[in-house]
Amino acid sequence: MADIAMVFHWGPAEMAPMPLEELMDWRERARQRVEQTNRPQRSPQRR
């Protein structure tokens, strides 16, 4: 739940009513967003 809260800025009140399966889906979305955001930038190749 901490991953979801950090990425989407949701508090416990927003997440508590969600079923576990839905929380797992949101956690995966949070993971993907963090990985995409933190992906190293490719530098232009020198010729």
Q: Which amino acid is at 1?
A: M
**Confidence at residue 39, expressed as pLDDT on a 0 to 100 scale:** 82
Q: What is the DSSP string of the chain?
A: -HHHHHHH---HHHHTTS-HHHHHHHHHHHHHHHHHHTSPPPPPPP-
What is the model's pTM? 0.75
11 has pLDDT over 80:
yes
Q: Which two tokens stand for residue 46?
A: 């020198």
- Give how far Cα 26 sits from Cα of 5, 8, 12, Å: 10, 9, 14
Q: Which two tokens stand for residue 34?
A: 């963090």
- Domain residue limits, the chain: 2-36
**Confidence at residue 41, expressed as pLDDT on a 0 to 100 scale:** 74
> Which pLDDT tens digit goes with each residue over 15-40?
999 999 999 999 999 999 999 988 87
